[in-house]
A and B are shown apart, each in its own frame.
Chain A
Amino acid sequence: MSRHPPRASGYFRTSYAQDHALIQTRLEWLATAALAVALCGVPLIASPFLLDLATQVLLAIVGALALALLTGYAGQISLGHAGLLAAGAFTVGILFKEFNAPFWISLPAAAVTGAALGVVFGLPSLRLRGLYLAVSTLALHFVVVYLGGEYESKRGFSTGIMIDPPSLLGVSITSGRAWYLVMLGAAVVALLLAANILRSHTGRAWRAVHANETVAGALGINVAAAKLGAFVITSSMTAVAGGLFAYHRGFVSVEAFSLYLSIQYIAMIIIGGMGSLLGAVLGAIFVTLFPYAIEALVGMLPGSQRYAGSLFAVNYAAFGVVMILFLIFEPLGLVGIWRRLQSFFLLWPFKQRPVGGGRK
Chain B
Amino acid sequence: MQLIVNILVLAAIYALISCGYVLVYRVSRVLNLAHGELMMLGGYMLIVTAATISSNPIAAIAGALVLSLMVGGLVYVFLMRKMTGEMVLAAVLATVALGILLRGLVILFWSAQIQYPAQTLALSNPTLNLPGGASISFYSAMLIVATVVVYSTLFAFLRFGSWGIRMRAAGQSPLLAAQRGINLHGVYALAWGLSTLTGSLAGILIALDSGLSQTIVMIGLKAFPAALVGGLDSLVGALAGSLIVAAAEVLMIHYVDPLLADVVPFLVLIGMLVVRPWGLFGTREALDRV
Contacts and interface: CB of A to CB of B under 8 A. Distances in A.
Nearest to B91: A327
A143 B290 contact: no
A318 B102 CA distance: 10
Given A130-B89, A131-B92, A324 B270 contact: no
Main secondary structure of the interface of A (DSSP, over half): helix
Interface stretch (B44-52, B66-74, B171-179, B256-264): B256-264
B287 A128 contact: yes
A322 to B, nearest CB: 8
A323 B93 contact: yes
A343 interface: no
Main secondary structure of the interface of B (DSSP, over half): helix
Given A131-B31, A328-B83, A331-B86, A139 B225 contact: yes
B108 A324 contact: no
Interface in B246-275: 259-260, 262-263, 266-267, 269-270, 273-274
A320 B99 contact: yes
A142 B101 contact: no
Interface string B119-156: 00000000000000000000000000000000000000
Contacts of B267: 139, 143
B219 interface: no
Contacts of A149: 259
B180 interface: no
Nearest to B257: A150
A149 B79 CA distance: 36
Interface residues of A, number: 47
A288 interface: no
B50 to A, nearest CB: 22
B259 A143 contact: no
Given A131-B288, A140-B270, A327 B97 contact: yes
Interface string A108-146: 000000000000000010011111101110111011001
Contacts of A213: 289
What 3 A-B pairs have minimum CB-CB distances, sorted nearest first? A320-B101, A317-B104, A316-B104
28 contacts: A127-B273, A128-B273, A129-B289, A130-B287, A131-B31, A132-B273, A132-B277, A134-B89, A135-B228, A136-B270, A139-B225, A139-B266, A139-B267, A140-B270, A142-B266, A143-B266, A210-B290, A260-B100, A263-B96, A270-B93, A310-B107, A314-B104, A316-B101, A316-B103, A317-B108, A328-B79, A331-B86, A331-B90
Interface of A: 71, 75-77, 124, 127-132, 134-136, 138-140, 142-143, 146, 149-150, 153, 210, 213, 259-260, 263, 266-267, 270, 310, 312-321, 323-324, 327-328, 331
Interface of B: 31, 79, 82-83, 86, 88-90, 92-94, 96-105, 107-108, 111-112, 221, 224-225, 228, 259-260, 262-263, 266-267, 269-270, 273-274, 277, 287-290
